[in-house]
Amino acid sequence: MKNLAVFGSTGSIGKQTLSVAQFHRDEFCVKALIADSNAMLMLQQIECFHPDFVGMYSAESAKLIREHHPELIVVSCDEVNMLASLPEVDIVVNGVSGFAGLAPLINALKSGKTVALANKESIVCAHHVINKTIDEFGGRIIPVDSEQSAIFQCISAGKHDDIKRLILTASGGMFRDFTQDELSTVTPQMALNHPTWSMGGKITIDSSSLFNKGLELMEAGWLFNIDPDRISILIHPQSIVHSMVEFTDGSVIAQLSSADMRLAIQYALTYPDRIISEIPELDLTKLSGLTFFKPDCERFPAISLAYEAFKDGEVLPIAYNAANEVAVAHFMRNEIGFTDIPKCVESTMNRMIHSEKCIDSLEKVYEIDLEARNLAKTFCKNN
């Protein structure tokens, strides 16, 4: 029996994690549930999983939970991230969206926990600090995103020194065939309808703009210690091949499955073992074909900007992520256009490209993040 703490339990990753835990009640015990502010859904999850601890980043939501469940230990605000270090917990599932996922990740790793990580932004922005924390305290990260999970599984087919390149796949989103003019007419409502995956709002928009793939590019490089020139991205609309690893002998190992995040989540929770899952089996005879093509970096600048940030490795990855988060928030409020998102990121990166800061502490990560957000907000205000 493995004890879980699920951060972001009311979000897409969190709900799918709990689906896995419910299907395998003999394998997993949910000790802690953590969410932002969705108290109504949290109350339902409490009734189903009976955790010992609950965390709500919203103080008001935490108060409501306490009123309904005075027997529970309920924490709020900054205290929530400390639940990642509970001695009762074996695995911390980090499904918190965006830069906010960094704090629980660091707390979990400092406690030597295994982290099933679905938060790519923390790796992108603080990989130096995270690596130091793992070296010092002995925690471990197992990726949950389908692409990183696929790479994680495929690299076991050979030695690290034999890896020629990583090949990340992307569905391409709703707008992969749109012209530049058509992209300028995209609304938030259009962008929130992903053709394949069921995800949260921000990550769905990131998938349509390919910023999600840019973040995954950097995350893969730092998770698996592969430099930018040895990572490729291919658009794969069917979302059946979740990523591939090419080895020096020419062999390409791919991981295939139905487009269901629960499989990657379950593998992270059971690693190195595999157990039966509730995901429908992949019927290859029903596939009409598998297609792959290179992304158009002119229509979708997120990829080329990500390579630039990746090669810098210090300030620019933080600027890339922060500016994108700010721009997506403005886009979702109809304050800027869809094509303004990459313009905001590029402008912010250009403003910070000459920074000499070496990112060797959390304080510097937060400092650079704040600077980038302020620059991005100014861009969005003026456009």
In a domain, 150, yes or no: no
User: What one-character DSSP code corresponds to residue 281?
Assistant: P
Query: Which structural domain range is residue 80 located in?
Result: 2-143
The Cα–Cα gap between 340 and 379 comes to 9
Residue 250 within a domain: no
pLDDT tens, position by position, 115-130: 999 999 999 999 999 9
Which of 57 and 189 is assigned the larger pLDDT? 57
In this prediction, residues 79-83 reach a mean pLDDT of 96
Lowest average pLDDT, out of 171-175, 215-219, 262-266, goes to 171-175
Q: Is the pLDDT of residue 134 over 60?
A: yes
Sequence-separated contacts (24+) of 246-254 with Cβ below 8 Å: 246/163, 246/164, 246/165, 246/166, 246/167, 247/157, 247/158, 247/162, 247/163, 247/164, 248/162, 248/163, 248/164, 249/162, 251/157, 251/158, 252/167, 253/154, 253/157, 253/158, 254/150, 254/154
Mean of all residue pLDDT scores within the chain? 95
Helices (H) and strands (E) in the chain, counts: 15, 11
pLDDT level of residue 112 (50, 70, 90 thresholds): very high
In a domain, 188, yes or no: no
pLDDT at 164 over 60: yes
Binned at pLDDT 50, 70 and 90, residue 204 comes out as confident
pLDDT surpassing 80 at residue 140: yes
On whether residue 84 sits in a domain, the answer given is yes
Q: What average pLDDT does this structure show over 286-290? A: 89
Q: Give yes or no for residue 213 having a pLDDT over 80.
A: yes
pLDDT of residue 199: 60
Kindly report, residue by residue over 335-365, the tens digit of the pLDDT. 999 999 999 999 999 999 877 678 889 999 9
> For position 36, what pLDDT does the model report?
95
Domain count, the chain: 1
The average pLDDT across 178-203 equals 81
CATH of the domain at 102: 3.40.50.720
Judged by average pLDDT, the poorest of 75-89, 116-130, 185-199, 240-254 is 185-199
Position 197 scores a pLDDT of 52
Q: Which of the four pLDDT bands, split at 50, 70 and 90, describes residue 288?
A: confident
DSSP 145-197: SHHHHHHHHHGGGS-GGGEEEEEEEE---TTTT--HHHHTT--HHHHT--SS-
The pLDDT, as a whole number, for residue 358 is: 83
For residue 348, being part of any structural domain is answered with no
The pLDDT value recorded for residue 383 is 83
Q: Is residue 117 part of a domain?
A: yes
Structural domain includes residue 225: no
Q: Is residue 80 part of a domain?
A: yes
